């Protein structure tokens, strides 16, 4: 009900810390003041440098700058802010699993140490994961797991895929400039509106012919802005969008390809061009053994028919940065109310999740922690 944007999750962090301390645990807030980690060891023992590696359970805690349009008791109370990507669900799942695991540890029934990781700023490129890794959250960690809400999967079910499950995502910002003038005499100008329009339509098509189509490279514009009057050709135009691709090789080649394509098109239309290519995140590539662990855990708690195969998403997720360092996997947590035909998509003001999905996620992570030893 109190969503906070990336790097501003102070209230959320404070609430998590208080709840974990209430359970007798010892959370540690990350250096920038938002996000935290909390270790749970067998018997609630103190940290041991010679102990087995930790299994990390990761949740992102930030919200999106969009209004919450749901008519429910738990809708956002903060204007223009909503948990429209399910990060509140992810947080509740990891917190709930942590509380269960703490009780098991206290009873001597936890076979291995677990680290709860509540990460800030997933929605801010290149993602808060890079800062948390620099802060040492993976020190002592041997593997890592996460879930992401999927509104196309029924609550009580889990989508799994070994290998790439999300895509790479970067941001592309273009500023065009040139001579402006009267719309009666476009031949005396750079005609930037036309140049920008050509860039919008031709850059994606040009890029598609310069990479292996199996790399799935897609440049999609989300903003174009130029001019203020119908009879004035402007001197500046701005465009921004995202570039997504399915594999690491294409992602690594993408910046040079985009620079070349944009420069060629801008030159063709006699426009000066400034390109800001913002590196985002690589694909999340699930490690097969960790994916199998999630499958085994879900099957143990909810039955074999509760698991389904999922396709690689074109969405980006900074969970990928953790997998550059340790093996892990992300699962698609079904949140659609069973029987509901319309999926309330992510990043929309009416996104909602069936609350039973939280219980499913808690059971999944609890079972995974008990199996992974």
The DSSP code sequence of 142-170 is EEEEEEEEEEEEETT-EEE-SEE-S-EEE
Cβ density class 351-362: b for 16+ within 10 Å, e for less: bbbbeebbbbbb
Give the chain's largest Cα–Cα span: 82
Q: Is 87 annotated as a binding residue?
A: yes
123 labeled part of a ligand binding site: yes
* 72 exposure class (CB count in 10 Å sphere: 0-12, 13-18, 19+): exposed
Map tokens 């992570």 to a residue.
Answer: 365
* H-run or E-run covering 193: helix 192-208
* Cβ partners under 8 Å of residue 209, min gap 6: none
What residues contact residue 8 under an 8 Å CB cut-off, 6+ apart? Answer: 34, 62
125: Cβ contacts below 8 Å, ≥ 6 apart: 169, 170, 171, 278, 279, 280, 281
CA distances from 195 to 83, 179, 234 (A): 38, 12, 11
Is 85 annotated as ligand-binding? yes
Contacts of 244 (CB under 8 A, 6+ apart): 167, 168, 169, 170, 216, 217, 218, 220, 314, 316
Annotated binding site: 85, 87, 123, 148, 347
Known binding-site residue numbers for Mn(2+) = 85, 87, 123, 148, 347
């Amino acid at each position: 009900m109190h969503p906070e944007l990336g790097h501003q999750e102070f209230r959320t962090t404070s609430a998590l810390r208080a709840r974990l301390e209430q359970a007798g645990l010892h959370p540690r807030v990350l250096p920038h003041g938002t996000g935290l980690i909390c270790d749970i060891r067998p018997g609630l023992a103190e940290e041991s440098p010679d102990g087995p590696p930790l299994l990390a359970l990761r949740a992102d805690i930030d919200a999106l700058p969009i209004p919450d349009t749901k008519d429910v008791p738990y809708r956002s109370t903060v204007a223009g802010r909503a948990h429209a990507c399910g990060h509140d669900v992810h947080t509740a799942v990891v917190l709930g699993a942590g509380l269960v695991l703490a009780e098991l540890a206290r009873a001597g029934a936890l076979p291995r140490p677990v680290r709860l990781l509540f990460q800030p700023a997933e929605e801010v490129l290149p993602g808060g994961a890079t800062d948390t890794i620099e802060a040492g959250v993976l020190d002592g960690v041997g593997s890592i797991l996460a879930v992401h809400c999927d509104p196309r999967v029924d609550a009580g079910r889990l989508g799994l895929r070994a290998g790439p499950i999300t895509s790479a995502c970067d941001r592309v910002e273009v500023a065009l400039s040139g001579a402006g003038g009267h719309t009666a005499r476009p031949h005396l100008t750079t005609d930037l509106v036309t140049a920008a329009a050509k860039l919008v339509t031709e850059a994606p098509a040009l890029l598609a012919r310069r990479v292996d189509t199996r790399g799935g490279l897609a440049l999609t514009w989300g903003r174009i802005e130029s001019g203020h009057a119908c009879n004035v050709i402007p001197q500046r135009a701005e465009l921004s969008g995202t570039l997504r691709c399915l594999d690491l090789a294409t992602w690594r080649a993408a910046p040079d390809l985009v620079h070349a394509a944009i420069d060629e098109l801008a030159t063709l239309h006699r426009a000066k061009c400034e390109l800001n290519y913002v590196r985002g995140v690589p694909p999340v590539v699930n490690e097969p053994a960790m994916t199998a662990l999630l499958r085994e855990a879900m099957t143990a708690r909810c039955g074999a028919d509760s698991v389904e195969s999922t396709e690689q998403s074109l969405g980006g997720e900074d969970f990928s940065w953790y997998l550059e360092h340790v093996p892990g996997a992300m699962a698609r947590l079904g949140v659609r109310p069973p029987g509901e035909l319309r999926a309330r998509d992510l990043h929309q003001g009416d996104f909602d999740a069936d609350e039973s999905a939280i219980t499913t996620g808690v059971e999944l992570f609890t079972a995974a922690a008990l199996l992974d030893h």
